[in-house]
Amino acid sequence: MELIKLDKVSKIYGDDLRALDNVSFAIDKGEWASVMGPSGSGKSTLLNMIGCLDTPTKGEVSIGGINISQLNKQELTKVRRDKIGLVFQKFHLVPYLTAIENVMVAQYYHSMADEEEAQQALERVGLGERAKHLPKELSGGEQQRVCIARALINYPDLILADEPTGNLDKENEEMVLDIFRELHSQGHTILMVTHDPTVGDLAEKMLELEHGRLVVNSKNSLV
């Protein structure tokens, strides 16, 4: 079953900057897909579009059968809240809140600040013991795991990650990738932007952009 479907999607900035140019593809529920391509090729634009943070200039984006291209801000927020967890390269943690409070911010936004659930989400990423630490007291890898916990709080079908290991050393990268492997095995659908071919190779489906165009859409024969 298709969870994500893009049909001839373009995002045009100004007169003619085609950040995305006539992109079509589909991702099945439970699939892990990687998005690769050089800097400026449209990867983040694509992720933001699917993450309901932005809307296309042309074409249609559907998530779970809902055409999100025409939704207003409020409706987009609802789809994002119900279906999507977002993880970024820059951690975007609130510096003066503890790990558990940072996870609860996501919940607060869903108007159900439940400390127990936030604690469980931290435990899912192996940070149960670090709940009361501030971001500055955590390593980069741990901060990224707090972000993943925050993204997991509403049990999203779809996890969108933009270079989630881009700022991490090898050891922390492995730890974060292990969490994604685990989430994948639990049935979450994952769309991950990465510059790193070995990270990209973990995915079942590989997408590659060049100047906003989709130049590769293939199954990964390695997995």
Ligand X SMILES: Nc1ncnc2c1ncn2[C@@H]1O[C@H](COP(=O)(O)OP(=O)(O)OP(=O)(O)O)[C@@H](O)[C@H]1O
Instruction: Tell me the residue type at 87.
Output: V
Structural contact between residues 33 and 192, judged by C-beta atoms closer than 8 angstroms: yes
Distance of closest approach, residue 47 Cβ to ligand X, in angstroms: 8
Among 6, 9, 19, 149, which residue sits at the site for ligand X (rule: CB under 6 A)?
A: 19
Distance of closest approach, residue 41 Cβ to Mg ion, in angstroms: 9
Cα–Cα distance, 189 to 159 (Å, whole number): 6
* Site for Mg ion contains 194 (CB under 5 A): no
Structural contact between residues 117 and 149, judged by C-beta atoms closer than 8 angstroms: no
Q: Which does 13 bind (CB under 5 to 8 A by kind): Mg ion, ligand X, none?
A: ligand X
Distance of closest approach, residue 14 Cβ to ligand X, in angstroms: 7
Distance of closest approach, residue 195 Cβ to ligand X, in angstroms: 7
Q: Which does 223 bind (CB under 5 to 8 A by kind): ligand X, Mg ion, none?
A: none
Structural contact between residues 108 and 94, judged by C-beta atoms closer than 8 angstroms: no
Structure-token pair, residue 30: 């439970």
One character per residue 39-68, x = contact with ligand X (rule: CB under 6 A): xxxxxxx-----------------------
Distance of closest approach, residue 23 Cβ to ligand X, in angstroms: 12
Which CB atom, from 20 or from 84, has the smaller least distance to ligand X? 20
Structural contact between residues 142 and 130, judged by C-beta atoms closer than 8 angstroms: yes
Which CB atom, from 44 or from 98, has the smaller least distance to Mg ion? 44
Pick the closest to residue 151 from 107, 186, 212, 89 (CA basis): 107
CA dihedral 167, 106, 184, 221 (to 10 degrees): -50
Query: Which positions from 11 through 70 interact with Mg ion, judged by CB under 5 A?
Result: 43-44
* Site for ligand X contains 165 (CB under 6 A): no
Q: DSSP letters along 117-135, please?
A: HHHHHHHHTT-GGGTT--G
- What are the residues binding Mg ion (CB under 5 A)? 43-44
